[in-house]
């Protein structure tokens, strides 16, 4: 598997709209995030992206819920005519370097979430909060129509 893509897609697409949802870190957070993204895609008439977006946002929010102690999970969605970029942020990330696409074995019960995101998304990646927010981690994905090649 390839590691996360090195170049992030701009978080605010030209001519797009930005939406944010802040959730308590509870077992219902993945469902609420999934419903939030589904609603955005239905309203923006990106019905062909709904299933993939639901899978990807569920995986990222579930990871934040299960593997961090963050009190809040933030979901940021940028939607334009062609794409949606969703970023899931938490404030308690033990090791951002551990987020490369894992190599889950066939018998593994877990570890396939980021592999699934990688297979569905046009691009995905991670970023750390930097010196101002040292524990913060963001994982993002972009779905939509690929750019035409020259």
Q: What is the CATH number of the domain that holds 106?
A: 3.30.565.10
**φ, ψ (nearest 5 deg) of residue 56:** -65, -45
Answer yes or no: is 7 within a domain: no
Rounded to whole angstroms, the Cα distance separating 24 from 142 reads: 24
Domain of 90, in residue numbers: 17-144
pLDDT over 50 (residue 6) = no
The rounded radius of gyration (Å) of the Cα atoms in the chain is 15
CA dist 96 → 47, 83, 144 (Å): 32, 26, 26
Rounded to whole angstroms, the Cα distance separating 90 from 63 reads: 10
The arrangement of strands across the sheet holding 83-90 comes to 17-24, 72-79, 83-90, 137-144, 123-128
Range of weakest confidence among 24-28, 48-52, 101-105, 117-121: 101-105
Closest CA to 86 of 50, 119, 112, 115: 50
Closest CA to 92 of 66, 60, 62, 70: 70
Q: What is the pLDDT of residues 56-104, one digit of tens each?
A: 999 999 999 998 889 999 999 999 988 999 999 998 755 444 444 444 4
Answer yes or no: is 8 within a domain: no
The average confidence (pLDDT) of the chain is 80
Answer yes or no: is 50 within a domain: yes
pLDDT for the residue numbered 150: 64
According to DSSP, the β-strands at 72-79 and 17-24 are: antiparallel
pLDDT bracket for residue 136 (50, 70, 90)? confident
pLDDT for the residue numbered 113: 77
pLDDT over 60 (residue 107) = no
pLDDT bracket for residue 25 (50, 70, 90)? very high
């Amino acid at each position: 598997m390839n590691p996360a893509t090195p170049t992030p897609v701009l978080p605010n697409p030209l001519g797009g709209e930005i939406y944010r949802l802040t959730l308590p870190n509870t077992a219902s957070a993945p469902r609420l995030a999934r419903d939030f993204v589904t609603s955005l895609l239905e309203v923006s008439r990106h019905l062909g992206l709904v299933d993939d977006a639901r899978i990807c946002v569920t995986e990222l929010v579930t990871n934040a819920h299960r593997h961090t102690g963050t009190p809040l999970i933030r979901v940021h969605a940028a939607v334009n005519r062609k794409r949606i970029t969703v970023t899931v942020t938490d404030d308690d990330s033990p090791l951002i370097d551990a987020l490369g696409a894992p190599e889950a074995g066939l018998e593994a019960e877990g570890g396939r979430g980021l592999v699934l995101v990688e297979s569905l998304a046009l691009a995905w990646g991670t970023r750390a909060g930097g010196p101002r927010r040292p524990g913060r981690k963001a994982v993002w994905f972009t779905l939509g129509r690929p750019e035409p090649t020259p």
